[in-house]
Structure 1
Amino acid sequence: MSVIVNLQLKAKEGQAPAVLEMFRNLLPGTRAYEGCHWVKAVRNLDDENVIEAVSQWNSKNHYDAYLEWRVDTGALAALAELLDAEPVFRFLPVELEY
């Protein structure tokens, strides 16, 4: 069963453009990672400092392997420097797809 992963981020005031620039550099590698169907970066209409990465994966295990790779490369530590709060990860199993 595939899974939608919703990574919710709260950028420090004025750092949202830097987070999006980091995503511009990182997300092509995310999309190319084994098990990733697609990935999108979105912003909250009511709070420009809230940025989310939404992606679909073959399984949570595929995402976990990807996340471990990102931790090992230092990308998550660099991203954390731009954030005002801990990232929130939501894992949503796909029950129906049309």
Structure 2
Amino acid sequence: MSIVVNLQSKAKPETTTKLISFIEEKLPAVRGFSGCMQVSICLNRDSGDLLFYEKWSSKEAHEKYLLNIQNNGVMAQLMSYLSDPPTVNYYESLDI
């Protein structure tokens, strides 16, 4: 059963353009990571609110991805563009 991951944060106003470029550069690696089924990114340019909507094969697959980007420095790079640490919520995808 797949899961939906909702990750929310806020971009620093002065880094929005660089953040978008960073995400564009890194997105293929996310989508190619084992267990990743879908990733969509939404940004409210007025408020800086950032939403990652992701679908993964399992919570464990997403946790492996998070560990990977923590170990290779990508998470630290992402955090440099954010004014708030992200909140991560997991949802079970219901087949109804």
TM-score (norm 2): 0.90
Provide the residue aligned with 2:30 in structure 1. 30
Q: Deviations over 1:25-79 (max 9, x none)?
A: 11110000010111111113762x1111111000000000011111111011111
Could you tell me how far apart the structure 2 residues matched to 1:92 and 1:61 are? 13
Root-mean-square deviation over aligned CA pairs: 1.5
Mapping of 1:2-81 within 5 angstroms? Answer: 2-44=2-44, 47=47, 49-81=48-80
Specify the code of the residue in structure 1 equivalent to 2:87. Answer: V
More strand per residue: 1 or 2? 2
Partner of 2:92: 93
Counterpart of 1:86 in 2: which secondary structure? strand
**Per the alignment, in what secondary structure is the counterpart of residue 85 of structure 1?**
strand
AA at the equivalent of 1:33 = F
Equivalent pairs counted in the alignment come to: 96
Distance 2:24 2:45 in 1: 20
Q: Partner letter of residue 85 of structure 1?
A: D
Displaced runs of 4+ in structure 1, greater than 3 A?
A: none
Instruction: Note the residue ranges of structure 1 that are not aligned, 5 or more in a row.
Output: none
Identity %: 28
Which residues of structure 2 form unaligned runs of 5+?
A: none
